Amino acid sequence: RLSFDTDATVNKALQLIALYKENGVATQRILIKIASTWEGIQAARVLEQQGIQCNLTLLFHMAQARACAEAGAYLISPFVGRILDWYKASTGKDYTAETDPGVLSVRDIYRFYKQHGYKTVVMGASFRNT
């Protein structure tokens, strides 16, 4: 529901921040997890501009990774294992840790960020081979 609604995502995040604040948890200690749909990326842009750190997840492609970095996302979590699953299902091949398309994707994203000076942290998720 929230994945495709920028305003609802922002509002839900602000509600969570307020609840944590009421219980003495500082905003800088909170990381809001958001799907990296177009709407989610726009929500992250708004939240990051307010000093709220976001982890953009459900990320499968360099285009999403670039959009997340351009939005100023604190962190992304590319789904390494799900990328591998797709490649295995579509090609029928097995992959080693060295040839794992998900691992290679995260490597390429990391290199792209470094080449272009993006500060977004890359934290691969859902590993299968390593």
Rounded-to-integer distance, Cα 44 and Cα 6, Å: 9
Please say if 33 is a catalytic residue.
Answer: yes
Q: Of 23, 118, 127, nearest to 82 (Cα)?
A: 127
SS3 percent helix, strand, coil of the chain, rounded to 5, is: 55, 15, 30
H runs (alpha helix) in 23-91 = 38-49, 62-70, 80-91
- Other CB atoms within 10 A of residue 27 CB: 14
The active-site residue, picked from 21, 33, 93, 114, is 33
List the catalytic residues.
Answer: 33
